[in-house]
Chain A
């Protein structure tokens, strides 16, 4: 086992092992647990850094064991993988800090952090999966690891949400498994390959391949919350804030979107998929989701629910970018994978801060909160403006690439979809900002906790500020070397034979 084969495994294990150890820790050992968590997160960050450097130097990382003859468990670090790996590693680090602060003195923390680590393990696994079977393995593991997090509160509502979540995701998983198997019997291979591995199959199988594609997209689309498979997501909002943040930004939803990217690029290959006529329907589904999600978000009174519907809408940008089948749009979609994650996690952190510090859950309760918690709301504003796509924030960059890619692909209507979505985004985010900054604060907050003369605890305040800063940096310095945008362009060069 050389270093290059071991590294992917180490990256997976760097969150798996702390997670497993944490399960066996007593509830009271806060320090040990936090130390373990942070060590894991930092170690992972370091390892991922080494790996990024290695890939930059042209190294090749692959770990492979045989599950069944002809069926391998493969962890491979390609450029596309590293996009999600890096995102989840960085955001996990931030979220861990946040979660430690958020869950102070609440019950079942060992359980929570254990599953939290497992969740990241699964995400990284999905990212580095080198074939469909490994992808499914971690995909299902992710379902299992997030379920306890969703129902963590243990209330009736939480359990119902958890049940719904399982129904949706397991059904999706079953579809994915079934279609993967079918594909396996047709092609005999499941390895992800740049530009796909199905184009060489005989045209006899075309109908079957179309059905398989639909099944697969439905399978991963459940997690990516494509309409009409999005029903679980707004309900899953009952989870604690760090969980929602992670769920929306990196773990579940993002993994679904990543799955769509993988299926289109590395299984079918962009040219083959478009020759089968599969991309336009996908683009239409994604567009419907974008508009529908925004419309629903417009009518929410609960802050977290609104953010959830906003996620439904935003994540489909990724699917849209993929489905346009055009390099520039593909860059936009892929870079949105990162940008949406960073922005959404900021928003959820802030929503969590408001709930935890002042007991604010409804949008109407946010009157004047900008004066009570200026830093939190500053981060929130940055995230929200980014979502709208205000330059020079991160969301703008992805929107730009998507729109110009759509023009290149000759799909002008997509530009209109994006414009409508931006307008709707503005329509539900700007009133919140207005209420928060310019209305008079009420005399008392619903449920206020004091943190000395600070607006809230450090552990709660720093993560959103960090991610908000990241949003600005990602947008402002979009073309810096090794930025997500550059990285996405690098991937796209591999995927599109040009």
Chain B
């Protein structure tokens, strides 16, 4: 139902473009309610498996939900709700007509992705998600946005293609696409390795791991604010989710050299993204590079390969989703208010939009990994994992990355304190937009206090249980 509702909503928006906003919001509420319902059942009864149309695995389509997918669903519902509210104020009428169906479409693809139990379904949803995202990027119009969208499309297709190739190899080799069945059947043959390699590279490309991150900053920076928020917060996480699930379930955790390689790339991403973010003169570019850096943290988890590290990765994914959404929304507010997002000239804006700035700061706190925030919990667990496994160099990278993050976040916040003449005319920012950004910012802080409960949830269905075998 979490998938269908936005789909229906999207169709509804197509059919009644005039009431797009209303329809969109209604379906958003619907999705949240259904995710909550699912969460309730999962929490009570453990992992759920649901066969669509009553046909079971080898034949039909299975939906599977455990702690991992539930939390991803929940976080996308939360961000989705935020984005929906934000967008309802952000888009004027013509924009809204295109935005809502695409967004709801994207949302349903994302939910389907988190629930899918076989790798082919994952492919389908991945592809759908990619296409919707590309269309959303193009929504901004203008040559820059179109070029970024084209590039994004290319990357997205290439990534999906590689993935599909891998899926084909696996299906050929082991005769199933269902993850659970595959997990029992796989043998470490050359075909299997090749398939995993193809899948991984395809997904790494879509997750924009350094050095394959080149497409991300322009795409995220040129999209409209709510879209940027979605892309940064959710879409890259979709691809990452697949990667995580496949490695964990099919592969019993990554082999050491590959894990180390991914970790190394992740570390490079943390540093490179941080430095590049520090270099940017435009706010949205800065935030986009920050995403590159934060995604790097996720991959450091691969090199650590312990239960704590996986939990940390998931927690980081969640808090990053919230924080990045808040940041992009704040950037959108600033852009709306000032007409530009040139960091050097933000002083006036920052003085006039305290709520937006607060949202940005709270999100920045989480990104830096300062307590108390979701980002801190995640980083703490990652650090703990790295020290417990004796790989202290990752801890050093993490700490350094945190300092870089602090540097670029304060590069923006520092602008707020320049004395500036405040009498220039400027456009109004709807209060709803400011408050939404702030709400997400507060949510990411609250995430820092919910860790015990959330970690219990993650454990449902023991998605990381296999990771323990090592």
Contact = CB atoms under 8 A, between A and B. Distances in A.
User: Are A and B in contact, CB atoms below 8 Å, in the complex?
Assistant: yes
Nearest to A158: B417
A144 interface: yes
Interface in A150-188: 151-155, 158-159, 162-163, 166, 170-171, 173-174, 177-178, 181-182, 184-185
Nearest to A163: B414
Interface residues of B, number: 35
Interface string B363-387: 0010000111000110011011001
A151 B365 contact: no
B16 interface: no
A284 B354 CA distance: 46
A78 interface: no
A111 B419 CA distance: 13
B410 A68 contact: no
B399 interface: yes
Interface stretch (B1-9, B17-25, B444-452): B444-452
**Is chain B's interface secondary structure helix, strand, loop, or mixed overall?**
helix
B410 A181 contact: no
A25 to B, nearest CB: 11
A136 interface: yes
Contact of A163 (B399, B410, B448, B449): B410
A171 B449 CA distance: 25
Contact of A68 (B351, B402, B418, B451): B451
Contacts of B451: 66-68
B449 A67 contact: yes
A151 B395 CA distance: 31
A431 B278 CA distance: 47
Nearest to A143: B370
Contact of B403 (A71, A158, A174): A174
A71 B417 contact: no
Contacts of A452: none
A113 to B, nearest CB: 14
A162 B410 CA distance: 10
B267 to A, nearest CB: 16
Interface in B397-445: 399-400, 402-403, 406, 410, 414, 417-420
Given A73-B372, A170-B403, A151 B414 contact: yes
Interface in B338-380: 351, 354, 358, 361, 365, 370-372, 376-377, 380
Contacts of B387: 181-182, 185
B452 A154 contact: no
Given A136-B371, A147-B410, A181 B417 contact: no
B384 A181 contact: yes
Contact of A159 (B377, B388, B392, B418): B418
Contacts of A147: 410
Given A155-B419, A163-B414, A181-B387, A170 B380 contact: no
Q: Tell which of A111, A163, A181 has the most Cβ of chain B within 10 Å.
A: A181
Contacts of A173: 370
B124 interface: no
A317 to B, nearest CB: 30
Interface in B308-325: none
Contacts of B197: none
Chain A's interface: helix, strand, loop or mixed, by majority?
Answer: helix
A51 B292 CA distance: 49
A71 B449 CA distance: 11
A65 interface: yes
Contacts of B410: 147, 163, 166
A182 B358 CA distance: 32
Contacts of A375: none
B38 interface: no
A400 interface: no
B455 interface: yes
A23 interface: yes
A229 to B, nearest CB: 15
Contacts of A66: 451-452
Contact of A154 (B396, B399, B419): B419
B406 A177 contact: no
Interface string A40-75: 000000000000000000000000011111010100
24 contacts: A67-B451, A68-B452, A69-B455, A133-B371, A136-B371, A137-B372, A141-B370, A141-B371, A144-B361, A151-B414, A153-B419, A154-B417, A154-B418, A154-B420, A159-B417, A159-B418, A163-B410, A171-B403, A174-B403, A177-B383, A177-B399, A178-B396, A182-B392, A184-B384
Given A23-B354, A68-B452, 14 more contacts: A67-B377, A67-B449, A137-B371, A140-B371, A144-B365, A152-B417, A153-B419, A154-B417, A154-B420, A170-B403, A178-B395, A178-B396, A178-B399, A182-B392
Those 10 A-B pairs whose CB atoms lie nearest each other, nearest first: A154-B419, A137-B371, A151-B417, A185-B387, A174-B399, A140-B370, A66-B452, A181-B383, A170-B406, A154-B417
Interface of B: 351, 354, 358, 361, 365, 370-372, 376-377, 380-381, 383-384, 387-388, 392, 395-396, 399-400, 402-403, 406, 410, 414, 417-420, 448-449, 451-452, 455
